[in-house]
């Protein structure tokens, strides 16, 4: 059965959440938004392309920083309203210079940073 991005369920802004996960370790790296065209671009090129809500433009991950995400596997959840992108991540995934955007934990009611920025890496 061939895949059509139009069969996904998008929100009122025409976007769908996409979770990027390291294909080797299983670590969750980040969440960003995609639209039907960025889904198609990602599948065509193998380079993960998101939709930037703040800039209102396509965002090829790593195009300016070099911290690219190469698509390994593209998965659709059971409701077709969320995506899981298994990727090979080059450098930090987070714009703060950390490997993952999920570096803050809440423990005993307190926020705790559990990961420091990667050394000698440009920010994502």
Q: What is the pLDDT of residue 56?
A: 95
Q: pLDDT by residue (tens digit) across 19-37?
A: 999 999 999 999 999 999 9
The pLDDT confidence band at residue 50, using thresholds 50, 70 and 90, is very high
Is the pTM above the cut of 0.75?
yes
Q: What are the tens digits of pLDDT across the range 94-124? A: 999 999 999 999 999 999 999 999 975 555 6
Residue from 83, 80, 18 nearest 52 by CA: 18
At residue 121, the pLDDT reads 52
Q: Is 54 helix (H, G, I), strand (E, B) or coil?
A: coil
As a 3-state breakdown, the chain gives helix, strand, coil percent values, each rounded to 5, of 10, 35, 50
């Amino acid at each position: 059965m061939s895949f059509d991005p139009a069969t996904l369920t998008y929100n009122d802004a025409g976007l769908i959440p996409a979770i990027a996960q390291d294909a080797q370790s299983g670590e969750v790296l980040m969440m960003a938004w995609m639209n039907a065209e960025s889904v198609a671009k990602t599948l065509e090129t193998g380079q993960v392309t998101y939709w930037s809500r703040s800039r209102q433009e396509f965002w090829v991950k790593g195009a300016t920083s070099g911290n690219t995400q190469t698509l390994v596997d593209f998965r659709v959840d059971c409701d077709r309203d969320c995506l899981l992108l298994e990727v090979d991540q080059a450098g930090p995934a987070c714009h703060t210079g950390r490997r993952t955007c999920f570096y803050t934990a809440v423990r005993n009611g307190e926020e705790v940073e559990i990961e420091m920025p990667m050394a000698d890496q440009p920010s994502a």
